[in-house]
Amino acid sequence: MRYDLTADEVRTLLNLEPHESCGFVRVTFISNQRIAPGGLPAPFLDGRRSSKVAAIDLNRLRAHFDIAVAKSRRAGRLTLLGHAEAKLPASPADARLETFPNPAPHRNYRIHFETDDFTSVCPVTGQPDFARIDIDYIPDRWCVESKSLKFYLASYRNEQAFNEAVTNRILDDFVKACAPREAVITAQFSARGGIALTVRAEYPRKKLRRNDV
């Protein structure tokens, strides 16, 4: 069951100190949809006028709140577009996919990216692996900005990983950045030893039917 707090209630709750014995803060449920932090004025403190009393791990709440605030502050801030002096990141860990608000969140529509310039490195031989990368997704609240995507994909040029790992990491990072309704990453790697390899990773994960295996 989900209970939502207003922004003011979250701030009030975060300003409380956890109980010294257990590290938790008590909150009182005052209806089926709302909860009141234990720091609110009476009569909600003693729980007499409500049906349920619960405890919240304040440290965990603060951690989740800090992450949400950081994401909301980062979202929509474009630092690469229009900045010619921007340098390519050294690795995917140093790269960041930037986003901007979806102009039509009420509608399902597809966005397609493609590039033939992708390169990663085989972790065994140290030889470069060349690939065509196609990205198709249905945005939800955020769209991925294309220059940041270009820089992100370029950051794999010195990354040692198998083709399968590379494709799945791209999908994971893409989903983490923009939380799309759907996303498909298709990586077509050039032939090595006479065999070409294509990896397709999808989000959300679909249940396999017996005939699909």
**Catalytically active residues, by annotation:** 122, 129
Asked if 137 and 110 touch (Cβ cutoff 8 Å), the reply is yes
Closest CA to 99 of 119, 116, 76: 76
For 138, the enclosing helix (H) or strand (E) is strand 128-138
Q: How far is CA 53 from CA 34, 56, 60, in A?
A: 12, 10, 19
In degrees rounded to 5, what are phi and psi of residue 55?
Answer: -120, 145
Strands 52-57 and 111-121, bridge-based pairing: unpaired
With CA atoms as reference, report the closest residue to 75 among 11, 133, 140: 140
Q: How far apart are CA 134 and CA 152, in angstroms?
A: 14
Exposure class string for 168-204: b at 16+ Cβ within 10 A, else e = bbbbebbbebbbbeebbbbbbbeeeeeeebebebebe
